[in-house]
């Protein structure tokens, strides 16, 4: 399919399609299943399914006699009971006998729908009748389950809560249904409910009619049409929205108001039952339904799981058909006789007998005719799109995930969206020429498509340029490396090389390249029209504001425009029982089910609020516009305090407060005029793609919308976005004429999507609304490791105990080893990851015991305590160590390293990437290049304990041979795991060693096959790992790898810059003297002369912040260490860094320090 093509859709194909009615028949007089001939006759007439009673009139007679006898005994007894307890022991229903039922196991029994005896009264105020009714129910359920029946229809409660005894009776009924769901654990249950209690349709004969003391139920003059729905709502609530519980809805003669019809539309309907009272005679004397009934049925038939139609006591009459048909042998037929079975030619010439044709049922004929009168399905109601009705989907995360081609193809199948975008481009280009607006490049309008995907918007931009005759220069910017390849192909085969394709995160893109020189490098220009399709179902929920803010720096000022230029989010309270039941079911295994905003093609829903003066049914939450005002942009830059935007994959600078302009809050009031239930909020959006700037047409807009009230006029048939659903737990019951308050928050952090609050802005479902931590209150740990943990990591530590060689843990361990390859940015299959129980120090032993033999030379680059300790470890294992020391706060320089390498042959060179004793960062890329050039045989080993996951390490690209690290620092996992990664070259060096490793536990010989087996998902054993720690590491790595690593590195750099600037503003110095030598994971801070470590650390702790003292032997008493890595950096909502800086400032003041 070409980009932007909607496909080969032929509307005529869909015009011929209509939903097929599934028509059943129920005869209340029927006492037994049909014979084969009777069943076949009904099938030939167009009936699809039939019902059968489970028990017969003989059973009914026995039960009535039992109840009547017991009630008589009670009336004549001198003992007294209570209102709920009988004076005599309750009667026990005797078991079924063959005379009590005509339903038996057979090949066809599962094609029937079983009907529970309609004369029971589970809601009876009389405890005897209620008890016997429940016994009948359970007996019939058990027997039906035995025979093979799979669907049962239960008679609805005979009285609602508003009737005499209804409240208690409804509770009894609900309890009985809940019990039935347990008894018939494999059965589907349908509660037969009237749409409302229509006068004159009350059931007169039931077990309760035997109790003469019960008050008669007189028809009420003022009918409350909602009582029947209230009863159903109570029943399914008590049954916890069981997914096997449905409604068989009895159609009334006169339909109620539309609001009640819509409410039932949202319910899990299985049958619509049509009795004789519903049909009316038309002018020709045939049975028919009113236009209102027809329209209701047509509407219900648009549901994905549309209800079946059950004709009750109307339809074909099979009572006169011979039911005594037996086998051929029973009738004395010789099946070998040619007289009995002639050939086809003989049969054709034989005289044909005459038959009397039965009169067809006009009710059935009418319903079949009605089937043909349905409006044909539209494209949006085709099977493909209907299958998405009320199907829960998690929102896409295109910023963190690279989408698949099939996903892009679904979006591209929506011609409406792209036509609107093309029209917006045409209007923008036309007015650009009309208004003679300047361009950022001489003679051409520069267009950039940010997030190009597979290129449909690029195609539309080129079409718009061709339609207007305006010369354009088009740039396609896409971060997905796979889509980038596709875009290059599109440029070759479709766009004829007219497009400049760039692989970059839009926020890191520096703009169109104007020119490039060898001396100055590339010169970047600006963009006149920026086109994007970053909108989510709620407008901003897929981080469109943050992304467009991040690329705004490339837009020409002040005339550059964004397409879209604005978007608004809208929401409304809704009832959607099916979705609520689905989410409730998921919540048993997924604790986030009710906290997830779900993308759903909402269909079976009911808007519980109504439009009244001053309050719309669907109300606006907030708006975003682009580009943001220049003064706002300047304020954002100022708040970043020296932060940067960019990095390899781009990262939005987000120092605390830098994204506050994208926070939103709203408080809305909705009027709900009738009783009901609210299951959550439905969210929609509207977007202005382009607003005319011409004087003659100023204010005219090109728009798209998912708002139910405006989608028809703004973007009819658009399917790219489904609504979003914010579920509520617990559901909210609504009284009459209630005003329901709703509060929404939009958090700018992708970890915290837009959330809803019910009445109290501080909580959602009883938890903190925007920041949800499960860790108890404690001082924030901001030392150079261990660090603070994310909630999910801590929760994964509570994993149940499991075998370390069991399939589940083996799969997790194997996945975690593979994740390490991604973390180290390596695709080298010969490289080997290791995860071994132990601290980071174990990594030194692993290197010293396996990669260096006694007497071989090792060059150690030391920048502090840990470089010195690594040298000691190598010496212990017999290596001949040469140590190059950097000055305190500095690192060895390349010339002296090169000199050392040229003087002696070294087996390995080790370097501490970040030495936490000084906060010095060692540069790796140029160092490795120097080693490869001067001494290519030397292995480059990196101590990355405090750098992995916060400083960039391009293992393959830089040619590293080994990195050792630990779980407790920037990775954000509890201490206890030694993690290492060695190149294929290092593994070959190990295999070529002449002596055995000088350690048993740290031997690669013992550990390598274990790691290979685990990564291949095979159980293995050398020493027992910690399953809980591995689960925690797996969770931590998933969080890290959910976004581009470049974003994580840039965020740490940004926060580090902020800390160092704050230290400088306090008049203090950092130990690492040069900016390029300063680590981004921590900062070592010299204290003023009058401030001592024993004084300031307790003051910091008293303010809830834990720093570390110094450990470098030359300056140990002169400085403190501030760790800033992991979740304290990546989750700005924690505000750990801000609190720490405030605590440092006030603690210094309390120690008597004043900036000079």
Q: Which residues are catalytic?
A: 533, 542
- Per-residue burial over 503-518, b if 16 or more Cβ lie within 10 Å, else e, is bbbbbbbebbeeeeee
- Report the candidate in 643, 619, 513, 610 with the shortest Cα–Cα distance to residue 571: 619
Question: What are the residue ranges of helices labelled H in 323-455?
Answer: 344-349, 362-372, 383-386, 405-412, 415-434
Q: Which helix (H) or strand (E) holds 151?
A: strand 151-155
The Cα 238–Cα 174 span in angstroms is 6
Cα–Cα distances in angstroms (integers) from residue 55 to residues 38, 63, 204, 586, in the given order: 19, 11, 20, 37
Give the tokens for residue 908.
């390995």
Residue listed under structure tokens 């793609």: 689
Residue listed under structure tokens 């302009």: 661
Q: Which helix (H) or strand (E) holds 728?
A: strand 724-734
- Per-residue burial over 429-457, b if 16 or more Cβ lie within 10 Å, else e, is bbbbeeeebebbbeeebbbbbbbbbbbbb
Residue listed under structure tokens 């031997």: 1003
- Report the candidate in 705, 716, 532, 540 with the shortest Cα–Cα distance to residue 621: 540
The Cα 51–Cα 56 span in angstroms is 13
Q: Compute the CA torsion angle 838, 840, 841, 844 (nearest 10 deg).
A: 110
The Cα 31–Cα 101 span in angstroms is 8
1086: number of Cβ within 10 Å: 17
DSSP secondary structure, 475-503, as one string: EEEE--HHHHHHHHHHHHHTSTT-EEEEE
- Report the candidate in 380, 397, 396, 378 with the shortest Cα–Cα distance to residue 388: 380
951, 918 in Cβ contact below 8 A? no
Provide the 8-state DSSP code for 612: B
Q: What sign results for the dihedral spanned by CA atoms 93, 97, 103, 107?
A: positive
The Cα 770–Cα 613 span in angstroms is 33
Cα–Cα distances in angstroms (integers) from residue 487 to residues 208, 249, 458, 1044, in the given order: 75, 54, 10, 21
Give the tokens for residue 390.
């009320």
- Determine how β-strand 914-915 pairs with β-strand 920-921: antiparallel
HEC letters along 515-560: EEECCCEEEECCECEEEECCCECCECCCCHHHHHHHHHHHECCCCC
593, 293 in Cβ contact below 8 A? no
The Cα 998–Cα 848 span in angstroms is 9
């Amino acid at each position: 399919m070409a980009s932007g093509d909607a496909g080969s859709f032929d509307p005529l194909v869909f015009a011929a399609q209509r939903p097929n009615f599934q028509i059943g028949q129920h005869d209340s007089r029927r006492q037994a299943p049909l014979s084969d001939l009777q069943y076949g006759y009904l099938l030939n007439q167009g009936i699809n399914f039939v019902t059968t009673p489970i028990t017969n009139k003989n059973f009914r007679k026995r039960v009535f006699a039992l109840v009547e006898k017991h009630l008589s005994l009670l009336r004549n007894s001198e003992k007294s009971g209570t209102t709920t307890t009988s004076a005599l022991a309750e009667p026990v229903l005797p078991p079924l006998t063959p005379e009590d039922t005509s339903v038996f196991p057979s090949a066809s029994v599962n094609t029937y729908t079983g009907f529970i005896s309609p004369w029971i009264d589970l809601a009876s105020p009389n405890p005897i009748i209620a008890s016997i009714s429940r016994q009948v129910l359970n007996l019939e359920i058990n027997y039906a389950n035995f025979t093979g029946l799979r669907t049962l229809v239960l008679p609805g409660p005979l009285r609602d809560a508003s009737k005499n005894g209804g409240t208690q009776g409804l509770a009894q009924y609900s309890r009985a249904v809940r019990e039935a769901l347990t008894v018939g654990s494999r059965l589907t249950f349908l509660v037969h409910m009237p749409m409302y209690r229509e006068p004159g349709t009350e059931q007169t004969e039931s077990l309760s009619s035997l109790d003469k003391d019960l008050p008669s139920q007189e028809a009420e003059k003022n009918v409350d049409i909602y009582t029947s729905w209230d009863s159903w709502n109570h029943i399914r609530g008590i049954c916890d929205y069981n997914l096997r519980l449905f409604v068989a809805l009895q159609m009334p003669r006169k339909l109620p108001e539309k609001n009640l019809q819509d409410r039932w539309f949202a319910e899990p309907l299985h049958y619509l039952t049509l009795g004789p009272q519903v049909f009316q005679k038309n002018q020709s004397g045939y049975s028919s339904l009113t236009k209102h009934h027809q329209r209701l049925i047509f509407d219900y038939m648009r549901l994905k799981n549309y209800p079946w139609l059950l004709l009750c006591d109307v339809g074909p009459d099979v009572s006169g058909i011979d039911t005594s048909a037996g086998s051929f042998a029973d009738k004395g037929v010789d099946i070998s006789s040619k007289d009995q079975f002639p050939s086809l030619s003989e049969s054709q010439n034989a005289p044909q007998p005459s038959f009397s044709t039965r009169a067809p049922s006009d009710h059935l004929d009418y319903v079949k005719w009605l089937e043909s009168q349905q409006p044909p399905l539209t494209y949006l109601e085709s099977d493909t799109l209907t299958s998405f009705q009320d199907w829960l989907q998690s929102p896409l995360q295109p910023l963190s995930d690279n989408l698949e081609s099939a996903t892009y193809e679904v979006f591209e199948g929506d011609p409406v969206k792209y036509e609107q975008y093309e029209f917006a481009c045409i209007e923008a280009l036309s007015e650009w020429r009309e208004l003679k607006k300047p361009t950022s490049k001489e003679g051409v309008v520069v267009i950039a498509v940010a997030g190009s995907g597979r290129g449909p918007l690029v195609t539309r931009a080129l079409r718009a340029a061709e339609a207007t005759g305006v010369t354009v220069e088009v740039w396609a910017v896409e971060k997905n490396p796979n889509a980038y390849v596709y875009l290059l192909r599109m440029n070759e085969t479709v766009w004829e090389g007219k497009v400049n394709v760039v692989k970059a995160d839009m926020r890191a893109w520096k703009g169109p390249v104007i020119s490039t020189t060898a001396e100055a490098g590339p010169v970047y220009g600006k963009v006149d029209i920026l086109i994007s399709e970053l909108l989510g179902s709620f407008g901003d929920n897929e981080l469109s504001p943050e992304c467009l803010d991040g690329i705004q720096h490339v837009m020409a000022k002040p005339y550059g425009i964004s397409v879209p230029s604005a978007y608004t989010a809208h929401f409304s309270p809704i009832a959607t029982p099916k979705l609520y039941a689905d989410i409730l079911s998921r919540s048993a295994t997924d604790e986030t089910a009710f906290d997830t905003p779900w993308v759903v093609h909402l269909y079976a829903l009911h808007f519980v609020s109504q439009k009244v003066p001053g309050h719309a049914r669907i109300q606006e939450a907030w708006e975003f516009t682009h580009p943001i005002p220049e003064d706002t942009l300047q304020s954002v830059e100022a708040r970043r305090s020296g932060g940067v935007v960019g990095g390899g994959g781009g990262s939005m600078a987000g120092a605390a407060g830098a994204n506050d302009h994208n926070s939103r809050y709203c408080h809305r009031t909705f009027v709900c005029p009738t009783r009901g239930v609210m299951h959550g909020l439905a969210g929609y959006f509207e977007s202005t793609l382009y607003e005319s700037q011409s004087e003659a047409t100023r204010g005219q807009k090109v728009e798209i919308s998912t708002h139910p009230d405006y989608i028809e006029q703004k973007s009819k048939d658009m399917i790219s976005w489904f609504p979003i659903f914010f579920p509520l737990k617990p559901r909210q019951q609504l009284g009459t004429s209630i005003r329901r308050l709703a509060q929404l928050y939009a958090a700018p952090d992708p970890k915290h999507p837009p959330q809803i609050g019910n009445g109290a802005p501080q909580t959602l479902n009883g938890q903190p609304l925007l920041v949800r931590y499960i860790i108890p209150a404690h001082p924030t740990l901001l030392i150079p490791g261990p660090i603070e943990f994310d909630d999910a990591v801590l929760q994964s530590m509570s994993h149940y105990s499991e075998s370390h060689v069991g399939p589940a843990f083996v799969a997790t361990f194997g996945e975690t080893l593979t994740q390490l390859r991604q973390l180290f940015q390596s695709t080298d299959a010969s490289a080997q990851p290791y995860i071994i129980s132990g601290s980071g120090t174990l990594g030194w032993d692993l290197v010293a015991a396996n990669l260096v033999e006694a007497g071989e030379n090792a060059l150690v680059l030391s920048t502090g305590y840990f470089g010195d300790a690594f040298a000691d470890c190598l010496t212990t294992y017999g290596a001949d160590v040469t140590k190059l020391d950097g000055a305190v706060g500095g690192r060895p320089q390349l010339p002296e390293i090169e000199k050392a390498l040229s003087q002696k042959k070294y087996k390995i060179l080790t370097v501490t990437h970040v030495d936490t004793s000084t906060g010095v960062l060692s540069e790796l890329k140029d160092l490795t290049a120097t080693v490869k050039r001067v001494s290519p045989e030397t292995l480059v080993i990196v101590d990355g304990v405090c750098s992995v996951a916060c400083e960039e390490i391009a293992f393959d690209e830089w040619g590293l041979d080994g990195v050792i690290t630990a779980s407790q620092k920037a990775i954000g996992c509890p201490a206890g795991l030694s993690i290492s990664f060695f190149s294929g070259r290092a593994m070959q060096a190990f295999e070529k060693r002449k002596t055995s490793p000088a350690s048993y536990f740290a031997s690669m010989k013992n550990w390598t096959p274990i790691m290979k087996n685990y990564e291949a998902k095979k159980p293995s054993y050398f020493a027992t790992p910690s399953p809980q720690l591995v689960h925690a590491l797996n969770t931590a790595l998933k969080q890290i790898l959910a976004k581009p690593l470049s974003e994580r590195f840039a965020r740490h750099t940004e926060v580090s810059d902020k800390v160092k600037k704050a230290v400088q503003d306090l008049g203090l110095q950092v130990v690492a003297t040069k900016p390029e030598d300063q680590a981004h994971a921590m900062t070592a801070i010299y204290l003023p002369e009058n401030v001592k470590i024993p004084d300031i650390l307790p003051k910091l702790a008293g303010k809830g912040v834990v720093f570390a003292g110094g450990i470098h032997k030359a300056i140990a008493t002169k400085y403190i260490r501030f760790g800033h890595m992991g979740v304290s950096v990546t989750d700005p909502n924690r505000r750990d860094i801000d609190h720490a800086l405030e605590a440092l400032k006030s603690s210094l003041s309390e120690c008597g320090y004043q900036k000079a």
